[in-house]
Amino acid sequence: MLNEIWEKIDSEVELNKEELCYILSLEDPEKLEILYQKADKIRKKYVGDEVHLRGLIEFSNYCRNNCLYCGIRRDNKKVKRYRMEIDEIFETVLLASRLGYKTVVLQSGEDMYYTLNKLTELIKRIKDNIDIAITLSIGERSYEEYEKLYEAGADRYLMRFETSNPELYAKLHPDSSFENRINILKWLKQIGYQTGSGIMIGLPGQTIEDLAEDILMFKKLDLDMIGVGPYICHPDTPLAGNPSGTAEMTLKVIALTRIVTKNTHIPATTALATLRPEDGREKALMAGANVIMPNVTPMKYREHYTLYPNKICINESAQQCNLCIKRRIYSIGRVIGTDYGHSLKKRENS
Ligand code: SAM
Ligand code: FES
């Protein structure tokens, strides 16, 4: 079976669920090395050697939701909550631009303090003054709000569907439905956003079959960006005591995601780097990934955006993360993207 799968990958024939499950079950390091090399070759062919840097600003850790896995869930009273004001967010975007980033990702919990008016004011101000692409990652809103935010100048939107298994999704998300998430992803594309989604690896109750379905779902949704990171167990959540996902399984899913979706943007996630600070990002970049999201959140807030414990870069400044990431990219013979790094599926937007 394995040789047949390798041949299918080489001749770019689509893999079915059974074949995806077979690869996801592989453990032999030599075979996995072959998988990563094949994903790396497809990455080079479809998205080239450039690694795109997206400056991440975690502007609020208030959240109205109670997702069972998440450290900033509404009921976690141990979190010190913070919000950045519009002026401070703008100044931070300016810093990201000075560091050379051509995209900022504005991320927060689902915090309705940021009304449509506040957000459109911010987006317009950024677009009028700074040459930078804007990605929003602020959770679920109405169709009209997504439309207005796009009209104000937001280019991209990130919202993970977390798992394609509707029962597992329902268990983990008391405040949102799987159907609604998928609908929102369709809206976002319809409105014109470059749309990203993704999953966590190793969620309690998640199976290999679920992961294979997740990968097929990436393809079906025709996403522009796909984030795949390990679930990391947080002690102050109802899932305390469960095992975290592994770096190995995360790398397998990243490689298969590249092989199946070809020209998408795939980040080497911070969660993976948290599991393997020494080489997690390099490994991901060599197994299909082509994006890194350096943190530019002001240092005083970083320790409070604790989705999971031991998050890296809590004590490094935006400048330090910038240098660290550049060094890592050059060390594996890759180059840094100098343009916006827009979706390769929507060249006309760039
Ligand atoms: N509120 C927005 C949303 O829900 O899309 C954006 C912020 S949310 C905290 C960003 C992502 O963090 C989620 O999509 C989830 O995959 C990830 N995340 C949350 N808790 C995590 C954990 N314990 N381990 C790994 N990733 C986690
Ligand atoms: Fe922040 Fe390496 S990316 S220290």
Tell me: the pLDDT tens digits for 143-179?
999 999 999 999 999 999 999 999 999 999 999 999 9
Q: Is the dihedral of CA 171, 20, 158, 144 positive or negative?
A: negative
Distance CA(132)–CA(335), nearest Å, equals 20
Q: Measured from the CA of 294, which atom of ligand 2 is nearest?
A: 3
Q: For residue 200, report the distance from its CA to the centre of ligand 2, in Å.
A: 21
Region of 162 please: left (phi>0), alpha (psi -120 to 50) or beta. left
Residue at 35: amino acid letter: L
Which residue, among 89, 137, 131, 135, has the nearest Cα to 111 in the 3D structure? 137
Q: Whose CA is nearest to atom 4 of ligand 2?
A: 321
CB within 6 Å of ligand 2 — which residues? 294, 313, 316, 320-321, 324-325
Q: What is the pLDDT of residue 267?
A: 98
Rounded to the nearest 5°, which phi and psi values hold at 262? 60, -80
Residue 347: its pLDDT value, please? 45
Cα of first residue to Cα of last residue in the chain, in angstroms, is 42
Ligand 1 mean position, distance from CA 20 (Å): 25
Q: For residue range 290-347, what is the model confidence (pLDDT) as tens digits?
A: 999 999 999 999 999 999 999 999 999 999 999 999 999 999 999 999 999 999 986 4
